[in-house]
Chains A and B, each alone.
Chain A
């Protein structure tokens, strides 16, 4: 055995011991390349999701039904932008630049949560995004507060704290519709019908079919499996829907006394794969919009940079 491999074995033992003892891995620690790659992919995917997720909601800012709903929506979208920033910064601790990550997104090499490839057709969709999409995200993110990569875990803790209002405002907005006129209730039901299944897909493939799950669980990057988290979301959400008289669009949904959990129907994984691979209703639009916004903002960054150069020259003079 060469000295180098002996060194790596020692480092690997050390790394695995930290993980086993529930210690966090910090940026300057030695880590296996595959771990670095995986956590980077996950943080980049998560950051892009926060940013792309602003689009379906942004679609309704100018058409929010009241001034109050409008400021709430603005505050929420502002939070999402901030969450993107936390996550990009966490990813940057591993030496990948923001520009590289954005470029990978534009090139279609980096992914974001596929739920944001669905359109927000009515005002009720904004309620659903808060209640269901953020609700599902929170279930996942609460679990990730204990992820093994330190900067990611700290970003999750901050995000969860801020995110709690997102779900509540979404549910409250939905409750108002569900208790309103027949048309308003029908609009809420229609939105629920369209967002329910994509929300369940947010947790990713079944554990048995999930490409990265096993290794990520072993590294404690993921703390709970896709199916466990999905079940938790279903169990907490069904009573919330019943309470406001909306019907979950799943004829196989049934309380299972023995398990103490809900049984639910089969997810359409073909649809999931279609959306993930770029053929959802809004994939091209979402990416195009991001590229456009990046280009449209270039003059601002150029101007700020030119000003900074001028300021520095003055200081020297």
Chain B
């Protein structure tokens, strides 16, 4: 018997046409095709979606919040990127 763990797949579901696929969880499977079938069984038993993406977890490169402060730092000191930063008189504020 093959004792090697099956590869892990990340599952994304599009709940409705027009919406983005969203991550819903992960599962083990032999390959993409099988992962797709498992995902249908696990995540779509109650019409939760119209489309599934499966991605091998090892193909995902992820950043870590703690990785590099400079990756995220600059966001906080640039309030001018937000519409609310610009104070307009109330007569024209519905812009």
Contact = CB atoms under 8 A, between A and B. Distances in A.
A154 B81 contact: no
Interface residues of B, number: 19
A216 interface: no
A239 B17 contact: no
Contacts of A71: 78, 80
B65 to A, nearest CB: 22
Contact of B83 (A168, A240, A243): A168
B60 interface: no
Nearest to B82: A165
Contact of B95 (A26, A72, A150, A167): A167
A71 B80 CA distance: 8
Interface string A229-250: 0000000000110010000000
Interface in B30-82: 51, 78, 80-82
A218 interface: no
A168 B17 contact: no
Nearest to A29: B17
B18 A24 contact: yes
Interface residues of A, number: 26
Contacts, number: 56
A168 B51 contact: no
A172 interface: yes
A103 B79 CA distance: 37
A201 B89 CA distance: 29
Contact of A26 (B51, B82, B92): B51
B92 A240 contact: yes
Given A26-B51, A72-B80, A75-B80, A172 B17 contact: no
A223 to B, nearest CB: 13
A243 B17 contact: no
A184 interface: no
Q: Which of A28, A165, A175, A239 has the most CB of B within 10 A?
A: A165
Nearest to B91: A243
A165 B17 contact: no
Nearest to A79: B81
Interface string A62-88: 000000100110010001000000000
A169 B86 contact: yes
B93 to A, nearest CB: 9
B14 to A, nearest CB: 8
A199 interface: no
22 contacts: A24-B17, A24-B18, A26-B18, A68-B80, A71-B78, A71-B80, A72-B80, A75-B80, A135-B95, A150-B17, A154-B18, A154-B20, A164-B83, A165-B81, A165-B83, A167-B95, A168-B86, A169-B86, A171-B92, A172-B87, A239-B91, A243-B92
What 4 pairs between A and B have smallest CB-CB spacing? A24-B18, A168-B86, A164-B83, A165-B83
Interface of A: 18, 23-26, 28, 68, 71-72, 75, 79, 135, 150, 153-154, 164-165, 167-169, 171-172, 175, 239-240, 243
Given A75-B78, A75-B81, A154-B18, 19 more contacts: A18-B17, A28-B51, A68-B80, A72-B80, A75-B80, A150-B17, A150-B18, A164-B95, A165-B81, A165-B82, A165-B83, A165-B85, A165-B86, A169-B80, A169-B86, A171-B88, A171-B95, A239-B91, A243-B92
